[in-house]
Amino acid sequence: MEGTAVPGRLTWEVATVTAATRETPSVRTIGLDVPSWPGHRAGQHLDVRLTAEDGYSAERSYSIAAAADDPVAITVERLDDGEVSPYLTEDLRVGDQLEVRGPVGGYFVWETADGGPLLLIAGGSGIVPLRAILRQREHSGSDVPVRLLYSARTQSELIYHDELDRHHDGVEVSYTLTREQPVGWTGYARRVDDALLAETAWPAGKNPLAFVCGPTSFVETVAGGLVALGYEPGRVKTERFGGTGGS
């Protein structure tokens, strides 16, 4: 069976970089052409494998930044002491190739039939799969009401800021900047805590479906806070990116 793709099993494939767009000083969106991509659902991720000339290889997961009917793209934040993200955000060029495997994950996904109301809560680059969900909602013409709470350290670190600020019917966006706020900032200015959740989240009585994504400690704080507000644990979906986070 060596070299033969087994149906249903994920295999590594060579993808070509089709676009590289700077989102913030430390974040890039990378468009990928993956020849036999089977399609994906909003919220899923893929794995990237980089192999050095000496054979050393490193694998990392990246959320797919695109709705199901959009071309595959990932959005990567550079961690200065990281092994993989500095290469993806600084060195990779259009036309370069890298290995990918996916789509991965069947739990942190949203499709129109899943309904809402939706509560999306992101810390830092945790906004990536939530952006895919927002785009999926828009593309499918869904009118499910959405509240998005997005936490970042500074305004310049908000990913997709212009896109999120564009008016979307039925989508309420709140930001919190935890380290530094520009003059005249009208959003929140502290880390997400129970009081901030109580102000911005749907009341539990509306039976919302929540998606929480970001650094591990952020996700745990928020998910715990939502359950304390009365959210049904099975309707609080979480995706942890690792690290301790600063959002």
Ligand X SMILES: Cc1cc2nc3c(=O)[nH]c(=O)nc-3n(C[C@H](O)[C@H](O)[C@H](O)COP(=O)(O)OP(=O)(O)OC[C@H]3O[C@@H](n4cnc5c(N)ncnc54)[C@H](O)[C@@H]3O)c2cc1C
Rounded to the nearest whole angstrom, what is the least distance from the CB of residue 204 to ligand X in the complex? 27
The interface with ligand X within residues 164-223 (CB under 6 A) comprises 215
CA angle 140, 146, 151 (to 5 degrees): 120
Residue 79 beta carbon to ligand X: minimum distance, rounded to whole angstroms = 5
Q: What residues between 40 and 59 interact with ligand X by CB under 6 A?
A: 45
- Cross-strand pairs, 123: 151
Does 60 participate in binding ligand X (rule CB under 6 A)?
yes
CA distances from 168 to 75, 145, 146, 196 (A): 22, 10, 10, 23
- Identify the residue among 15, 72, 128, 164 touching ligand X (CB under 6 A): 128
Which of 61, 112 has the CB closer to ligand X? 61
Give the count of beta carbons closer than 10 Å to the beta carbon of residue 139: 15
Provide, rounded to whole angstroms, the least separation between the CB of residue 170 and ligand X.
Answer: 25
Say how far apart CA 201 and CA 218 lie, in whole Å.
Answer: 16
In whole angstroms, give the CA distance from residue 206 to residue 93.
46
| Contacting ligand X within 66-125 (CB under 6 A) | 74-77, 79, 81-85, 125
Q: Answer yes or no whether residue 61 interacts with ligand X by CB under 6 A.
A: yes
Cα of first residue to Cα of last residue in the chain, in angstroms, is: 46
Q: Report whether 28 contacts 21 (CB < 8 A).
A: yes
151 is a site residue for ligand X (CB under 6 A): no
User: Binding residue for ligand X (CB under 6 A) from 24, 28, 62, 208?
Assistant: 62
- Binding positions for ligand X, rule: CB under 6 A: 45, 60-63, 74-77, 79, 81-85, 125, 128, 215, 239, 241-243, 245
